[in-house]
């Protein structure tokens, strides 16, 4: 049986909600870069359960710890997990991002 094309969306739910719990408690997590890259690629390509593509629109996102690169425009650079959390609409990982596009992406997130 072939894997579902939406599998990264379900994986994203696990990654993002798990991090929603761990991060405020100060519990660090280093999920598998390959898995988080699949989520990042999915989020950058479409609005599914979150408006991730809209958040990333017009920006170049580039991971510092893996192969993820997407988009064109002012650059937002950081760990893949931080890029995923930001595309998921979370402000919690903005401090891990650098580049000319950080202010723009930050303004797209709810306060």
pLDDT at 1: 43
Q: Where are the alpha helices (DSSP H) in the chain?
A: 7-25, 33-45, 52-56, 80-87, 102-107
Q: Which CATH architecture describes the domain 31-107? A: 2-Layer Sandwich (3.30)
How far apart CA 62 and CA 76 sit, in angstroms, is: 6
pLDDT at 2: 46
Q: What is the pLDDT of residues 56-69, one digit of tens each?
A: 999 999 999 999 99
Burial of 8 (0-12, 13-18, 19+ CB in 10 A): buried
User: With 70 as the cut, is the pLDDT of residue 111 above it?
Assistant: yes
User: With 50 as the cut, is the pLDDT of residue 92 above it?
Assistant: yes
pTM score, two decimals?
A: 0.93
Instruction: Enumerate the domain spans of the chain.
Output: 31-107
Burial of 55 (0-12, 13-18, 19+ CB in 10 A): buried
């Amino acid at each position: 049986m072939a894997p579902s094309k939406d599998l990264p969306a379900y994986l994203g739910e696990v990654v993002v909600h798990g991090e929603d719990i761990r991060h405020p408690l100060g519990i660090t997590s280093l999920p598998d870069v390959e898995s988080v890259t699949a989520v990042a690629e999915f989020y950058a390509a479409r609005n599914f359960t979150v408006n991730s593509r809209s958040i990333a629109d017009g920006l170049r996102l580039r991971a510092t710890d893996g192969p993820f690169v997407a988009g064109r425009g002012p650059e937002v650079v950081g760990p893949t997990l931080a890029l995923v959390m930001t595309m998921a609409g979370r402000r919690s990982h903005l401090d891990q991002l650098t580049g000319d596009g950080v202010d723009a992406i930050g303004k797209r997130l709810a306060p």
